[in-house]
Structure 1
Amino acid sequence: MSDGRHPLFLPVVLVGGLVFGFGLGFSQMARPEVVLSFLQFEDFGLLFVMFGGSLVASAAFFGLSHFGGSAPLTGRPYTRRLKGLDRNVVVGGTIFGVGWGLSGICPGAAYASLGIGNWPILWGIAGMFIGAYAQGYVRSLRADRTTGPATAD
């Protein structure tokens, strides 16, 4: 491939997404009512799912960053990517949290819930696309304002 990625990169990403979606459906975390009952402190099943996922991810990140050379499909070294806490992180996290609390479902689980027949979630998915487009549009307007129009000499 011209971008330096392994030919199996996209199929592995697809299989990973399918396994993740199946896990969300199997654990009932693709059902908004289950997530909302967690947010209302009535059902703590989501806490165990998140804790289990955190343990697996922590072990993988620790092991790969200390003992792994490079990612087999991309060839990039395993490194930590730190992002500072800025206004975009706070605003984005707030929007994500409010959306999660109102709908009872996060973006990944929204797609997985389609697999269990939750068709009304299409409204939420449409809202995610509209919000992402609006954010990109506003960001491009701000970038144009800071760089200014090109002037002919």
Structure 2
Amino acid sequence: MRAVIALASGLIFGLGLLLSGMANPAKVIGFLDLAGAWDPSLALVMLGAIGVAFIPLQWVQRRGTTLRGEAAQLPTGRQIDRRLVIGSLLFGAGWGVAGFCPGPALVAAGALVPQALLFVLAMLAGMGLFAWYDRRATA
């Protein structure tokens, strides 16, 4: 059942990205182009997502469990450290240059968009490089 819920959630998320145009990197670049032809639609999508997630998040924080009665796995870290700042800068730079973040990139890669396929390969390589570096640093 868990796999079915995960699949349905992923399909709904992907459909939302397609319908909102967020799987199109030109839309993202338009949002980031504050000095040019700025496109505020990404901000509206973000506000909509916050609105949809707000009540369920409040509910799960109070209960501490999911709808299935399992323990909620919510982030507990509150510290802003060097690792978080560098990761955020790398994420933002990649998003700004490519116009993709991981979710929309996977949706576009599923549609065989060449730029998205390249982005996903680069993303996986970066994840592998980080895992290697992190293992080395903590050993």
Larger relative helix fraction: 2
Supply the AA of the counterpart residue of 2:25: P
Which position in structure 1 is the counterpart of 2:46? 50
Aligned residue type for 1:97: G
Given candidates 10, 15, 19, the residue that maps to 1:26 is: 19
Scaled by the length of structure 1, what TM-score is found?
0.81
Is the contact between residue 23 and residue 105 of structure 2 (CA under 8 Å) also seen in structure 1? yes
Cα offset, 1:81, TM superposition: 2.4
Larger-gyration structure (1/2) = 1
Distance, in Å, in 2 between the alignment partners of 1:10 and 1:130 is 26
1:118 is aligned to 113
Shift of 1:31: 0.1
The higher relative CO (CA closer than 8 Å, separation ≥ 6) is in 1
- Offset at residue 73 of structure 1 (A): 3.5
SS of 1:120's equivalent in the other structure is helix
**Amino acid of the residue matched to residue 17 of structure 1?**
G
Secondary structure class of the residue paired with 1:84: coil
Match of 2:2 among 9, 33, 36: 9
Q: Using the alignment, how far apart are the partners of 1:49 and 1:85 within structure 2?
A: 26
In structure 2, relative to structure 1, the CA distance for the partners of 1:79 and 1:101 (3 Å cut) is closer
Give ranges in structure 2 of 5+ residues lacking alignment. none
Letter in 2 for 1:122: L
Q: Distance in 2 between matches of 1:109 and 1:46?
A: 12
Preserved CA contact (<8 Å) 1:30 1:112: yes
In 2: Cα distance, 1:113 partner to 1:79 partner: 28
**Residues 109-139 of structure 1 deviation map (CA, whole Å, 9 limit, x = unaligned):** 1011134452221111110011000001011
How far residue 63 of structure 1 moved from its aligned partner, in angstroms, is: 2.5
Aligned partners of 1:141 and 1:78: how far apart in 2?
27
The partner residue of 1:88 within 83, 89, 94 is: 83
**Aligned Cα root-mean-square deviation (Å):** 1.8
What are structure 1's unaligned runs of at least 5 residues? 1-7, 145-153
Contact 2:109/2:120, CA 8 A, preserved across alignment: no
Query: What's 2:96 paired with?
Result: 101
- Cα gap change, 1:12 to 1:43, in 2 (>3 Å): same
Identity of aligned residues (%): 29
